[in-house]
Amino acid sequence: MLSKKTKYGLKALTYIARVEGDAPVQVGEIAANEKIPQKFLESILTSLRKSGFLGSKKGKHGGYYLRKEPSEILMTEVMRILEGPIAMVPCVSLNFYEKCDDCPDENECSVHKLMIQVRDSTLNVFRNTTLADLSGS
x-marked contacts with DNA along 22-51 as a string, rule CB under 7 A: ----xxx--------x-xx-xx-xx--x--
Binder of its own copies out of 45, 48, 75, 82 (CB under 8 A)? 75
99 binds DNA (CB under 7 A): no
Q: How many residues bind its own copies (CB under 8 A)?
A: 31
Binder of DNA out of 19, 33, 52, 57 (CB under 7 A)? 57
Question: CA 67, CA 54: separation in Å to the nearest integer?
Answer: 5
Radius of gyration of the chain (CA): 18
30 binds its own copies (CB under 8 A): no
32 C-beta neighbours (distance < 10 Å), count = 11
Question: CA 130, CA 27: separation in Å to the nearest integer?
Answer: 22
